[in-house]
């Protein structure tokens, strides 16, 4: 039975990854400080092969048993969190990644860094390929997250080149699904919460900025394929379907049958105008591509919340 350590395992993505690994026959050690994760995300797991360790990855971590895989997901990931926790975001990207890589090195485990499409900033290349170096404002409010992840990528590659650690880097594009926090601050959980409460949906700017939304099960499949591959440079995992934020709001209103209106507010500083992954590498090297479209994924998300979805 392989053993996997999942840092940030009580978060939205981490809890789904824990489920997937357990279903594949792994022993899973979930490490989380519960700053943004929650025990509610893992309370359904009642298996002897699962262990939870409350620990902050900016501190050294010791696992006194063999480890085969280390998935490093620990980090605040939504603007509402990393703007509230700017120093901790930088520390978990630096000290936390160093500690997670050290754990993988000690156990000779495969390592996967959950990086982000935010390393591309407000991109001047569209769609974004892994060869694009990005357009990031390092001293803007979003810089604490963007630069933490860029540094984490550099540290991961250094461990691979100098220390021989078997590392992998996934650049995650917008992902959604069950267990997202209603007050997460990102578009889908915010719109769903507002729609279900019949409150106005808050669209920034004119809603013409674009995003690409990947359902969580597709993303986790990409994780599994990548960490078992021989690819050490970053790989985009996301859904290349591109939608304006206004289009997203309108789909959610239709699926929920909400009477909510749409209101417009000023764009936040450094908010990217476009975001869509080039997934050519994932397709050619991993045989991966998403299987769930936006409307189907939103239906699954709403049904997972116990919401009756409106008939089209």
CATH code of the domain containing 196: 3.90.25.10
Residues 134 and 182 occupy one common structural domain: no
Is residue 229, in this structure, part of any structural domain at all?
yes
Tokens of 105: 């090195």
Q: Examine the domain organization and report whether 30 and 100 are in the same domain.
A: yes
pLDDT along the chain (312 residues), means of 10: 98 98 98 97 96 98 97 95 95 98 98 97 94 96 96 98 98 96 90 94 92 97 98 98 95 94 89 92 98 96 87 62
Is 312 among the domain residues?
Answer: no
CA atoms within 13 A on the CB side of 153: 22
CB 20 within 8 A of CB 50: no
Extract the runs of DSSP E, i.e. beta strands, from 25-182. Answer: 27-32, 50-54, 69-72, 110-116, 167-172, 175-176
- Please give the Cα distance from 93 to 148 (Å, whole number): 5
Quick one: 57 and 190 in the same domain?
A: no
Residue 27, class by beta-carbon neighbours within 10 Å (0-12 exposed, 13-18 middle, 19+ buried)? buried
Quick one: 203 and 124 in the same domain? no
Asked, for residue 281, whether it belongs to a domain, the answer is no
This prediction's pTM:
0.96
Residues 129 and 201 in one domain: no
Q: What is the model's pLDDT at position 312? A: 58
Q: Check whether residue 170 and residue 297 sit in a common domain.
A: no
133 and 261 in a single domain? The answer is: no
Give the pLDDT score at 308: 83
Q: Is the residue at 23 inside a domain?
A: yes
- Position 44 in a domain: yes
- Which residues carry out catalysis? 145
33 and 135 share one domain: yes
Domain count, the chain: 2
Same domain, 35 and 146: yes
Element (H, E) at 202: strand 201-204
Flag whether 269 is in a domain.
Answer: yes
CATH number of the structural domain spanning residue 105: 3.40.50.720
Task: Examine the domain organization and report whether 143 and 220 are in the same domain.
Answer: yes
Q: Give the three-class secondary structure for 295.
A: helix
The half-sphere exposure of 262 on its side-chain side, counting CA atoms within 13 A, is: 17
Does the residue 77 lie in any domain?
yes
Q: How is residue 229 written in tokens? A: 């591959």
145 and 12 in one domain? yes
For residue 279, being part of any structural domain is answered with no
The tokens describing 111, both together, are: 């390592």
Domain coverage including residue 194: 178-211+241-274+292-304
Residues 87 and 197 placed together within one structural domain of the fold: no
């Amino acid at each position: 039975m392989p053993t996997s350590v999942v840092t940030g395992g009580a978060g939205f993505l981490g809890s789904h990854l824990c489920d997937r690994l357990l279903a594949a026959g792994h022993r899973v050690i979930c490490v989380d400080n519960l700053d943004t994760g929650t025990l509610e995300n893992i309370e359904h797991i009642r298996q002897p092969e699962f262990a939870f360790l409350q620990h902050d990855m900016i501190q050294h971590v010791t696992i006194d048993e063999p480890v085969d895989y280390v998935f490093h997901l620990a980090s605040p990931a939504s603007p509402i969190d990393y703007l509230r926790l700017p120093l901790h975001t930088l520390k978990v990207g630096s000290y936390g990644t160093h500690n997670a890589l050290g754990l993988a090195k000690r156990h000779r485990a495969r390592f996967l860094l959950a990086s982000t499409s935010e390393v591309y900033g407000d991109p001047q290349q569209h769609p974004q390929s892994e060869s694009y170096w990005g357009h990031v404002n390092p001293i803007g409010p979003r810089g604490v997250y963007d630069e933490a992840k860029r540094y984490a990528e550099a540290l991961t590659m250094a461990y691979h080149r100098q220390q021989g650690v078997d590392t992998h880097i996934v650049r995650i594009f917008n992902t959604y699904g069950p267990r997202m926090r209603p007050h997460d601050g990102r578009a889908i959980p915010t719109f769903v919460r507002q729609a279900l409460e019949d409150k106005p949906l808050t669209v920034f700017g004119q809603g013409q900025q674009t995003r690409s939304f990947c359902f969580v099960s597709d993303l986790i499949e990409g994780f599994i394929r990548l960490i078992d591959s021989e690819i050490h440079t970053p790989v985009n995992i996301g859904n290349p379907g591109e939608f304006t934020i206004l289009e997203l709001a309108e789909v959610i209103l239709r699926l929920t049958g909400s009477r909510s209106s749409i209101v417009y507010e000023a764009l936040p500083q450094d908010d990217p105008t476009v975001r869509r992954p080039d997934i050519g590498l994932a397709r050619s090297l991993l045989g991966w591509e998403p299987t769930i479209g936006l409307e189907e994924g939103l239906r699954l998300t709403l049904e997972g919340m116990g919401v009756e979805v409106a008939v089209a």
